[in-house]
Amino acid sequence: MILVDAPRRRCLAVVLAAGEGKRMISGKPKVLHELAGRTMLAHVLAAIAAAGADRIAVVVGVGQEAVAAEAKRAAPEAQIFVQAKPLGTAHAVLAAKAALAEGFDDVLVAFADTPLVRPETFRGLRTALAETGAAVVALGFDAARPEGYGRFILEGDALVAIREHKDLAASELGLNRCNAGLMALAGASALPLLEAIGTANAQKEYYLTDAVGLAHARGLKAAAVTVAGEEVLGVNDREQLATAETVLQTRLRRAAMLAGVTLLDPGSVHFSFDTELAADVTVEPNVFFGPGVRVAGGSTIRAFSHLEGASVGEGCIIGPFARLRPGATLERDVHIGNFVEVKAAMLGAGVKANHLAYIGDATIGARSNIGAGAITCNYNGFAKFKTEVGEAVFIGVNSALVAPVKIGAGAYIGTGSVITENVEANALALARERQVQKPGWASAFRARNRK
Which residues are tagged catalytic? Answer: 355
Question: 224, 250, 16: which is closest to 114 by C-alpha?
Answer: 16
Q: How far is the CB of 234 from Mg ion (least distance, A)?
A: 5
- With CB under 5 to 8 Å by kind, the binding choice for 208 among ligand UD1, Mg ion, none is ligand UD1
Q: How far is the CB of 24 from Mg ion (least distance, A)?
A: 13
Q: 12: which strand partners?
A: 55, 107
Pick 39 or 399: Cβ nearer ligand UD1: 39
Q: 153: which strand partners?
A: 161
Pick 85 or 432: Cβ nearer Mg ion: 85
Residue 449 CB-density burial (10 A; 0-12 exposed, 13-18 middle, 19+ buried): exposed
- Amino acid of residue 165: H
- Residue ranges that bind Mg ion, judged by CB under 5 A: 234
Q: Which strand (E) or helix (H) includes residue 441?
A: helix 441-449
Q: How far is the CB of 247 from ligand UD1 (least distance, A)?
A: 15
Alpha-carbon span 197 to 213, nearest angstrom: 10
Q: How many CB atoms within 10 Å of residue 34?
A: 17
Q: How far is the CB of 115 from ligand UD1 (least distance, A)?
A: 10
Pick 234 or 327: Cβ nearer Mg ion: 234
Alpha-carbon span 182 to 414, nearest angstrom: 66
Alpha-carbon span 161 to 118, nearest angstrom: 25
Question: 147, 137, 233, 218: which is closest to 185 by C-alpha?
Answer: 137
Phi, psi of 283 (to 5 degrees): -120, 120
Angstrom distances, CA of residue 81 to CA of 10, 77, 404: 20, 13, 50
Q: How many CB atoms within 10 Å of residue 345?
A: 27
Pick 135 or 178: Cβ nearer ligand UD1: 178
- With CB under 5 to 8 Å by kind, the binding choice for 16 among Mg ion, ligand UD1, none is ligand UD1
**How far is Cα of residue 379 from the mean position of the Cα atoms in its chain?**
30
Q: How far is the CB of 76 from ligand UD1 (least distance, A)?
A: 22
Pick 234 or 298: Cβ nearer Mg ion: 234
Q: How far is the CB of 232 from Mg ion (least distance, A)?
A: 10
Pick 94 or 411: Cβ nearer ligand UD1: 94
Residue nearest to Mg ion (CB): 234
- With CB under 5 to 8 Å by kind, the binding choice for 86 among Mg ion, ligand UD1, none is ligand UD1
- Residue ranges that bind ligand UD1, judged by CB under 6 A: 16, 18-19, 59, 83, 86-89, 91-92, 111-113, 149-150, 162, 164, 178-181, 207-209, 234
Q: 436: which strand partners?
A: none
